[in-house]
Amino acid sequence: MSEHKNIWAFVETENGKAKKVGLEMVVGGRKLADAVGEKVVAVVIGSVTDDAAKAAVSYGADQVIVVDGADYADYNTEAYTYALEQLVNKYRPAALLLGVTINGRALAPRLAARLKTGLAADCMSAEIDASTGVIQWTRPVYGGNSLSVVECPEARPQMGTVRASVFKCGDPDTARTAEIIKEDIAVPAGTIRTTIVEKITEVGEGVKLEDAEVVVAGGRGIGSAEGFDQLKELAALMNGAVGASRAAVDANWISQVAQVGQTGKTVTPKLYIAVGISGAIQHLAGMTGSGCVVAINRDGDAPIFDVSDYGIIGNAKQVIPALTEAVRKLKA
């Protein structure tokens, strides 16, 4: 395993720009690489990626490997898996970090299978043993009720998908310089088996759900689409975003882009207010990294109270207006 070296961070892009979660992987990779005296290498795949590569350097990358081409203009799991497989086999990194995103969840397991290595998924932290170079990945299990530490002592690269906001970006250093390596990787004919038929742009109001420090989420207990209007008012007062359980989304009370959970988005706000959410393990999987959890539910036995820091047993239609008014007075 000695021939494997350096910590890689996969930087997702959108319209040529680096996504925040990708830059967070660079920051996390920097911490791990410093502990073992190695380099952190950012991997940028896409089209017209100069800005993304520069951003990766400003957040700590020592090298940036860029794969730029028309085949990579839009994310495609087959194409990106192929490109990353070629890069890993050529450069032989010791570890690879990817973000817990829709793309990361699709890409990481396929790549790990191709490389015949392990994958620690949905991690909340990553630490490295400086003497062995083995990474300890901490991830939630049993619906977030327990934590498991996973190691991959033999196979390389060590791979893990890490939740957004686990690594804090801080301020970029625009004066940093780094080596940019450009790789020309053509995707073989027949590799791409899926075609993008239509693009639907996510249009949200205010703070993006994934980036919000305050999330006010509603579930079946909200009762109607109108109930979410109250949550939006409270979230706006707190400069936060509105989330939802799958039950609320399936009832067409709010858009799917607001869904938090195993089949939705993963959020790690400082404050998560769960309103009318029972606390199914699928929902908990998307918010267990929250700093402080406040649960509001009329059912005192709801599982959400088991993972909350504060709980209010009551009717959301009465509690939310009172809470909103209290916040408004504090801000006056």
Please indicate whether residue 190 or residue 140 has the higher confidence score (pLDDT).
190
DSSP string, 270-299: SEEEEES----HHHHTTTTT-SEEEEEES-
Query: What angle separates helix 102-115 from helix 77-91, to the nearest 10 degrees?
Result: 50
User: Can you give the pLDDT at residue 332?
Assistant: 79
Cβ contacts of 171 within 8 Å, gap of 6 or more? none
Quote the pLDDT of residue 331.
Answer: 86
Higher pLDDT, 262 or 54: 54
Q: Which of 257, 306, 237 is nearest to 278 (CA)?
A: 306
Compute the average pLDDT of residues 90-94. 98
The residue-averaged pLDDT of 16-36 equals 97
- Stretch 225-252: mean pLDDT: 95
* pLDDT at residue 143 greater than cutoff 70: no
3-class SS of residue 182: strand
- Give residue 285's pLDDT: 80
Rounded to a whole number, what is the distance in angstroms from the first to the last CA of the chain?
60
Backbone φ and ψ of 219, nearest 5°: -125, -160
pLDDT, one tens digit per residue, over 166-181 is 898 889 999 999 999 9
Q: pLDDT per residue over 251-308, tens digit each?
A: 999 998 899 987 788 888 999 999 999 999 889 888 888 899 999 999 999 999 999 9
Which one has a higher pLDDT value, 285 or 34? 34
The percent of residues above 90 in pLDDT, for the chain, comes to: 79
CA distances for 245 relative to 139, 162, 263, 287, 290, angstroms: 21, 22, 10, 11, 15
pLDDT at 1 over 90: no
Name the DSSP letter for residue 268: -
Model confidence at 314: pLDDT above 80: yes
- pLDDT on residue 282: 85
pLDDT reported for residue 88: 98
Least confident range of 70-74, 79-83, 125-129 = 70-74
**Which H helix or E strand runs over 148?**
strand 146-150
3 state SS of 320: helix
Q: What is the pTM of this model?
A: 0.79
pLDDT band at 38 (very low <50, low <70, confident <90, very high): very high
pLDDT at 2 over 60: no
User: Above 80 in pLDDT, residue 198?
Assistant: yes
Show the domains of the chain with their CATH numbers: 7-183 (3.40.50.620), 209-331 (3.40.50.1220)
77 token code pair:
């799991």
Q: Using only C-alpha atoms, what is the Rg of the chain?
A: 21
Which pLDDT value is given to residue 202?
65
- Is pLDDT at 199 greater than 90 in this prediction? no
pLDDT category at 196 given cuts 50, 70, 90 is confident
Backbone angles phi, psi at 152, to 5 degrees: -130, 80
The confidence score (pLDDT) of residue 266 equals 81
